[in-house]
Structure 1
Amino acid sequence: MGTSFGIADYAVFITVLIISGAIGVYYRFSGGKQKTTNEYLFGNRNQSVINVAFSLMTNFMSAITLMGLSAENITYGTQFVVINVSYMIATPIVSHIFLPVFYKLGALSVYEYLEKRFGKATRLAASVAFTVQMVLYMGIALYAPAIALEAVMGLSQFYSITLVGLVCLFYSTIGGIKAVIITDVFQSLVMYAAIFAVIIVAAVNVGGIGEIWNIADRNGRIELFNFSTDPTVRHSWFSLTLGGIFIYCSLYGINQTQVQRYLTVKDYKTAVKCLWLSWPLLTLLSISTCFSGLSIYSAYYNCDPIV
């Protein structure tokens, strides 16, 4: 298979992996050197608001989301972007209903709360279900970029999944939650840079942002005002808003990976600040990713597989 990677592309790819691993090494040998549970799992509860906000956003957005949102807009149009309205509605729900529970009880995890509320059997069942879910999710999350790397780099999916998976395992294992949060910040900046690079290059090639929009509009990819209440319709304001609220609450309110990030700050008020700062970061990346799909479409609409 031919590749389109040049020296600069390989340099960027390798640098991202090296920096991610180096962050883990740094936190393994700095501070308390991850010798206590409080530091390893909760970052001594003194992590900064902006770092945790970026980490919350990055944990919500993955390679699946970046590739999926772009593909959604290329194939079916822009209606899905309306889901960002649900994030605005759900943020106060999470901050005022879900977060206070963990801080008032002093719970160290969602499972500790479940045991106190429903008993040990419920805690065990929920933790097993979550573990299975995350194992399956991580498989897909690693498979998505592996497809892209195989296409442009010629790297087999097996080696891609193994390499990226080992790097993630390395920095999170030796560096604890501090390394995870800072790596999330770094990777979020990489995601923003990649998305905006796609949009800028497309705009230069077709003659501006407006022309990207015009091409999409002429080819039936602009749809924003579908207010149908029919649940069989692919996307509408009704389904996206209602469904988005439940998705957001499930991920930001009771997902252990997110709750653990909240618990790395000093108190409830600080956690709420992290959540509210994470919301515009998430919305910006989501909308930008949707528009990057239109940007990609502007380059390939003449060979549209749907037409």
Structure 2
Amino acid sequence: MAKVSATLNFWDYFVFGLMLLISALIGIYHHFSGNKQRTTKTYLLGDHKMSVFPVTISLMASFMSAITLLGVPSENYYFGTQFFVINISYIIGTPIAAFVFLPVFFQMKATSAYQYLELRFSSYVRTTASLVFAIQMILYMGIVLYAPALALSAVTGISKWWSIISVGLVCTFYCTAGGIKAVLWTDVFQSFLMFASMILIIIKGTIDVGGIDIVWKRAMEGNRIQFFNFDADPTVRHTVWSLAIGGIFIYVSLYGVNQTQVQRCLTVRSLRDAK
């Protein structure tokens, strides 16, 4: 097998730059299109006129950060496929978020999930929750930006700072310029690239090792194929109980009350579309 170069060439940089440019152009387009983001309702909620397709793709994309793309394959390689069981919690958590939490926010005609806290308790509770969420997201975004930059730096030698600053500035630009519409449609564009890349990597990797049967054989030999561990020991890394039950709370916290997800759901025309 030919040795693969661990440096980026001109076309690699071109594709990376083109992806950032298209993302920025989407923000510019939505800044000057329609009513040009003149109202808060347009800027934050897209006038409640977004279709289900971009919102669905955006919800899925925002759930799959660089941490997910790098961490889950690593988890499966080193500790086996038991983590796959967490998908059970998603099946259970989805109707909880859709039928318990979303109707509340639609009935309120809210722009923020934290408006409920002010109406139910006080402005102090809303401010405190908003502040905690802001701090959490700042820390989270730091990891999300640093993780892929670290991976690129380790494999190709590209500067971590160059990667972090370029991606961070472009994301900030198109979000600020185009509002929620730009965020949704940029997510659609980037999701296409993300899933197409993952599929191509899986196909290429499978071909290189000799086929699906070889992949499965090596996974079995490495004791990586593990499902439905019902061990009640809480010190075990992953079990059905910790993933299926614990995952429900994680999923509902993300899709039921997390501002980044709730705001996306509130951009559609009706509660039915959101569900």
Q: CA deviation at 1:119?
A: 0.8
Q: SS in structure 1 opposite 2:36? A: coil
Report the more deviating stretch, 192-201 or 124-133: 192-201
Question: 2:21 aligned with 1:18, yes or no?
Answer: yes
In 2, the alpha carbon distance for the partners of 1:39 and 1:16 equals 26
Matched, 1:175 2:183: no
TM-score for both structures, normalised by structure 1: 0.86
**Partners of 2:99 and 2:261 in 1: how far apart?**
16
SS in 2 for 1:4: coil
Alignment partner of 2:265 out of 257, 262, 269: 262
Distance 2:12 2:76 in 1: 26
Q: CA deviation at 1:214?
A: 1.2
| Aligned position for 2:188 | 185
Q: Specify the alignment match of 1:5 in structure 2.
A: 8
8 Å contact from structure 1 (residues 94, 252) kept in 2: yes
Alignment partners' CA distance in 2, 1:4 and 1:196: 22
Task: Tell me, in whole angstroms, the C-alpha distance in 1 between the residues paired with 2:197 and 2:72.
Answer: 14
Q: Which amino acid aligns with 2:146?
A: Y
Residue identity opposite 2:21 in structure 1: I
2:204 pairs with one of 201, 204, 208 = 201
1:268 maps to amino acid:
L
Counterpart of 1:91 in structure 2 is 94
Q: Given that residues 24 and 176 in structure 1 are in contact (C-alpha distance below 8 angstroms), is that contact kept between their aligned partners in structure 2?
A: yes
How many aligned residue pairs are there? 271
Structure 2 gap ranges (5+): none
The answer to whether the 8 A contact 1:38-1:44 is kept is yes
1:117 corresponds to which of 112, 116, 120: 120
Q: Give the equivalent residue in structure 1 for 2:44.
A: 41
Aligned pair partner of 1:146 in 136, 144, 149:
149
Distance apart, 1:98 and its partner CA: 0.7
1:295 matched residue in structure 2:
none
Is residue 100 from structure 1 mapped to residue 103 from structure 2 by the alignment? yes
Quote the Cα distance in structure 1 between the aligned partners of 2:109 and 2:208.
54
TM-score normalized by the length of structure 2: 0.96
Tell me how far 1:263 sits from its aligned partner: 0.9
One-letter code of the match for 1:234? Answer: R
1:203-243 Cα offsets, whole Å, 9 max, x none, are 11112122211111111111112111221110011100011
Q: Residue in 2 aligned with 1:216?
A: 219
Q: Secondary structure at the match of 1:110?
A: coil
Question: CA distance change for structure 1 residues 178 and 101 in 2, over 3 Å: closer, same or farther?
Answer: same
Q: Compute the displacement of 1:144 (Å).
A: 0.7
Q: Distance in 2 between matches of 1:169 and 1:108?
A: 20
Instruction: Name the CA distance, whole Å, in 2 between partners of 1:113 and 1:30.
Output: 32
Q: Which amino acid is the alignment partner of residue 109 of structure 2?
A: G
Q: Is the 8 A contact 1:3 1:151 kept in 2?
A: no
1:149-198: per-residue Cα shift (whole Å, max 9, x none)? 21233222112111110000000000100000001111111111121111
- Tell me, in whole angstroms, the C-alpha distance in 2 between the residues paired with 1:16 and 1:235: 37
User: What is the CA distance between 1:15 and its match in structure 2?
Assistant: 1.3
Identity %: 55
Indicate conservation of the 8 Å contact 2:27/2:177, yes or no: yes
Q: What residue number does 2:164 align with?
A: 161
Tell me the distance in 2 between the aligned counterparts of 1:227 and 1:107.
42
Match of 1:74 in 2: 77
- Residue 34 of structure 2 aligns to a residue whose secondary structure is coil
Corresponding residue SS for 2:257 = coil
* Structure 1 gaps, min length 5: 273-307
Q: Distance in 2 between matches of 1:170 and 1:111?
A: 25
Residues 41-70 of structure 1, C-alpha deviations (whole Å, 9 max, x = no match): 111111110100001111111001100001
The two structures, once aligned, show a CA RMSD in angstroms of: 1.2
